[in-house]
Chain A
Amino acid sequence: MSTVARPERTRLLEAMLEELVEKGYPAVEVEAAVQRAHLVAEEWAAEFPDKESCLVAAFDELADQLREAIVEGCLGGSDWPSRVAGGLRALLARLAARAELAEALARTFPSIGPAAQRRYQAFVEGLAPLLAEGREAAGVPTSDLPAEIEFLAVGAAEAIVFEQIQLGQTADLASVVPEVLFSVLVPFLGASAAAEAMAAEKARAAAESPS
């Protein structure tokens, strides 16, 4: 457990991920991240003995923040599809606002090596339990649904979001919320109900659009 003030720690860890994206894993250094975050080097020397531990802490911090944002986003909806939509909006808005962190999360950090890939996979898989309520909302008996249904839904969202990031379209992630929503809901609700929810989300986004 860190004994250092949390906002400063968060600043350092975000700076570390930014350094990672800009310079690549071989060139990234904790010292440069400390400078970038405008912190005093001596205070952080003992906190992270090497860049690996700092990068892992940075990834975990980001993953925790995103998970919390999703959970918070899910609180407002009146039914399961609208709660999922709220979670997706929160996640994709957060990623779109910080493209460099999205790049670090999905591409640069996993590229470090097998342990980092397993960590990214664990983060994505860890989102699956958030969809468990979908089994009750399904249009067919729960016992008929595939055992891996939550993973099918989470994997669908990850693939679409990853592709947007890969294409350099992270800033536009909010625009794909309706499509991602369809792919997350469809294993549980079927195509017709998922398409209805997607249409409702599009209408909601259009109503909130400034123009």
Chain B
Amino acid sequence: MGTRGTGPGHRPATACLLAPSARERLVAAMAATCAEHGYRAASVEDVLARTGLPRQAFDEHFADKAECAIAALDELLSETTQAVSRAQAPEFADWRRLLLATRALLELLAAQPSAARLALIEARTAMPAEAYDRYAAGIRVLVALLDRVRTYADGGAPASATRGAIGGAELLIRRELLAGREDRLPELLPDIIYGTVVPFLPQQEALRYAALARELLSDGG
């Protein structure tokens, strides 16, 4: 895979005319094309047809299909990290940080279903190894978030419990994305909160956090 368009100092000849809007449109169109046809069947021509941009515009920003698709993953990963970071305000208790970060993540995925499909489905199996690295990096962000809860655990949970807890949430999210029900993702918050804390806290406490998540959903707070 090439490196065009990704270096910090990179400025294509027509950047002043096309960037950033052309690049953003190409990245968004690549995510949408992959969501519709799958990464393997998606083509640069499909992407250009969606954007109405000429091939030259694509070539100025990306070396190939993979680079463009990975740029879409990088954008979602960056937004995920920002969404989680915004919920880490020091005045919040750990449980509230987890609730707010999870809600922000579900809302982000609901707002960008094509990128979410690319990250949670295509990057897992269908894309080049660099894409799996991005997927794994996203999981590490969530593992770090959950490890705060883990500090309250009594030590009974195995090392893989954090990965398992995130996997439970992933299965639900993938189900909704594959069914085209991304608008329902935020409604999963109470069950996902329960699933992510129950390996580390007493079960009644996990149920209480699920109830708090329901309250958060109902009052929009």
Chain B interface residue bracket vs A: 35 or more
> What are the residues of chain B within 8 A of A144 when measuring CB–CB?
207
Is the Cβ of B160 less than 8 Å from the Cβ of A160? yes
**Within the assembled complex, what's the spacing in Å between the Cα atoms of A182 and B160?**
9
Contact of A151 among B163, B171, B207 (CB under 8 A): B171
| Distance A195 CA – B161 CA, assembled complex (angstroms) | 11
Chain B residues 130-183 with CB under 8 Å of chain A are: 132, 153-154, 156-161, 163-172, 174-175, 178
What string of 1s and 0s marks CB contacts (under 8 Å) between B196-219 and chain A?
001111111011001000000000
Residues of A near B40 (CB, < 8 A) are: 25, 111-113
Shortest C-beta distance, B173 to chain A (Å), equals: 9
Known: A148-B191, A179-B160, A183-B160. A190 touches B171 (CB 8 A): no
Q: Which chain A residues lie closer than 8 Å to B36 at the CB level? A: 114
What interface size band does chain A fall in? 35 or more
Contact of B125 with A by CB under 8 A: yes
The answer to whether A186 and B199 touch (CB under 8 A), given A25-B40, A117-B121, A148-B172, is yes
Decide if A76 is an interface residue (CB 8 Å cutoff).
Answer: no
Q: Which residues between 126 and 157 of chain A lie within 8 Å of chain B, taking CB atoms? A: 139-140, 144, 146-149, 151-157
Given A140-B203, A191-B198, A191-B199, verify A183-B121 contact (CB < 8 Å). Answer: no
For B158, list chain A residues within 8 Å (CB). 178-179, 182, 198
- In the complex, A176 has a CB within 8 A of chain B: yes
Could you mark each residue 158-187 of chain A with 1 if its beta carbon is under 8 Å from any beta carbon of chain B, else 0? 111011001000000000101110110011
Min CB distance, B99 to chain A, in Å? 15
CA distance A186 to B163 in the complex (A): 13
Query: How long is the Cα–Cα vector from A158 to B38 in the complex, in angstroms?
Result: 22
> Does residue B41 face the partner (Cβ distance < 8 Å to A)?
yes
Residue of B nearest to A155 (CB): B171
Q: Is B190 an interface residue (CB 8 A)?
A: yes
Interface residues of A (CB under 8 A from B): 25, 106-108, 110-114, 117-118, 121, 124-125, 139-140, 144, 146-149, 151-160, 162-163, 166, 176, 178-180, 182-183, 186-187, 189-192, 194-195, 198
Q: Can you show 14 pairs from A to B with CB atoms below 8 A apart?
A: A111-B40, A117-B178, A125-B175, A146-B191, A146-B195, A147-B191, A148-B195, A153-B168, A159-B166, A159-B170, A160-B163, A163-B163, A179-B159, A183-B161
